[in-house]
A and B are shown apart, each in its own frame.
Chain A
């Protein structure tokens, strides 16, 4: 029953995002002062950036929970939190790259250059480098418990440092970036139909992120369990590579 609900929800998400694509090209009007059709990229670029940001926060929160939060049997820390943080970092990298590329394409059309160190470009590049460094750190530690602990500490440090970018970066470089959806005057200055599509897309991408996050967490959990089973039930010499190899079990 639960499985059927999940399948139904994923189909609903598929339809929702398909409707967003149609809405972005057919329903929403073009924004003023934008060259050609370029404003339509907004409906995908902005939600991707939101998803990347959400992924970053999710990873930080789960890392702090891993270090200082719940316990599970036999271990002082809960490996589920570690898997959740790692999955979020991976997805943050994916959505971050997508947001950067779509932004650069749009920037080429509007500002004449793919890249100009706009504050938001700087911030997202720092987030991407941070996510990359996190994954590099994980690859450099063999012991699973130590890997989780060090990576979580690094992500927590990142969570502490990131707010400073919001102070510093906008002051150093002049921004050409369009105003955020909710601007400094606290008003939404956007065509209502554009706003509807943007918010629908934002909700869709958020659901997509959490759905992918759940899938990735489960894949990582299966891989961990296979490794544990291989370690526990492995014969003294690897006589049967098929049954002891964790890769064949997890796939």
Chain B
């Protein structure tokens, strides 16, 4: 990169600002994400009944539902940021205006803030509706942050890939789920630990208490780092013909 770092940061910030400006004008992703997440939450909660899941199993099954809601809500809203560029044919102007890596970081920051907002909405609602007590709130927050980051990074790169293909909506789900599955498994495992406290019984995880959770959290952060690095390296070849 021949340009100075300050230009790069300014480019990334400009992309980020542009994304949010166009988002606030249309509110497409915000509406989709929030409504989708709330609808799914209502469906899940209503099907489980007024008492939530059976007490003994709730800390094992409910984390899965929480992360599935987040995953599908992300799949409904996140691909838009690249698909929109191709549909309105603004992608070429963006290719001329910004360095690919700065563009990727701007879009990633946008996806991150969007997901953070989604998690801030969904997680408290989920806990309230399901009558869940969180044994380790700090671990839950750390998991939501690290999981949300990986979700945003993986989705941003896959969105850039599918935006240039046909059948974008379904293709995003098909391509992103194998990539996001390790993240999902780790996040579910950690959320279980956060709900249940010491260990998730019968699952073999966290027998060592905090140590087990620490290992899983480090692996989740490694996943985030690996996917972000891969995104930064692969995005330029995906983006530029």
Q: Report A's interface with B, CB cutoff 8 A.
A: 67-68, 126, 129-130, 132-133, 136-137, 140-142, 145-146, 149-150, 152-154, 156-158, 160-161, 164-165, 167-169, 171-174
B205, A172: Cβ atoms closer than 8 Å: yes
B24 within 8 A of A: no
- Is B179's CB under 8 angstroms from A161's CB? yes
Q: Determine whether the beta carbon of A146 is less than 8 Å from that of B174.
A: no
Closest beta carbon of chain A to B222's beta carbon, Å = 8
Compute how far the CA of A153 lies from the CA of B239 in the bound complex, rounded to whole angstroms. Answer: 10
Determine the distance from Cα of A130 to Cα of B177 in the docked complex, in whole angstroms.
9
- CB within 8 Å of A: which B143-188 residues: 154, 157-158, 161-162, 164-167, 171, 174-175, 177-179, 181-183, 185-186
- What are 7 A-to-B residue pairs whose CB atoms are below 8 Å? A141-B166, A157-B158, A158-B178, A161-B226, A164-B183, A168-B182, A168-B189
Contact assessment for B204 and A137 in the assembled complex, using a CB-CB cutoff below 8 Å: no
B interface residues with partner A (beta carbon < 8 Å): 154, 157-158, 161-162, 164-167, 171, 174-175, 177-179, 181-183, 185-186, 189, 203-205, 219, 222-223, 226-227, 229-230, 234, 237-238, 241
Among A133, A142, A145, A165, max chain B CB count under 10 A is at A133
Query: B204, A171: Cβ atoms under 8 Å?
Result: yes
**A157 with B234: CB separation less than 8 A:** yes
Known: A141-B165, A164-B226. 13 other contacts (CB 8 A): A126-B178, A137-B162, A137-B171, A150-B161, A154-B161, A156-B230, A161-B178, A164-B222, A164-B223, A167-B219, A168-B185, A168-B219, A172-B204
Which B residue sits closest to A149, measured CB to CB? B237
* Pair B238/A149 contact, Cβ less than 8 Å: yes
Q: Which of A68, A161, A174 contacts B182 (CB 8 A)?
A: A161
Q: Which chain A residue has the least Cβ–Cβ distance from B175?
A: A133
Chain B facing A: main interface SS: helix
For B154, B171, B189, B238, the residue with the greatest tally of chain A CB atoms inside 10 Å of its CB is B238
- In the bound complex, residues from chain B placing their C-beta under 8 Å from that of A67 are 234, 237
The minimal Cβ–Cβ distance linking B117 to chain A, given in whole angstroms, is: 26
The minimal Cβ–Cβ distance linking A249 to chain B, given in whole angstroms, is: 26
Q: Which residue of A lies closest to B177 (CB)?
A: A129
Instruction: Give the one of B158, B181, B183, B223 with max A CB within 10 A.
Output: B181
B238 and A140 form a contact (CB under 8 A): no
Neighbouring A residues of B205 by C-beta, 8 Å: 171-172
Contact across chains for A157 and B203 when beta carbons are under 8 A apart: no
Cα distance A203–B208 in the bound complex, in angstroms: 42
Q: Is the CB of A140 within 8 A of B178?
A: no
| Chain B hits for A133, CB < 8 A | 174-175, 178
Q: How far is the CA of A168 from the CA of B180 in the complex (A)?
A: 13
Q: A157-B234, A158-B179 are in contact. Are A164 and B219 (CB under 8 A)?
A: yes
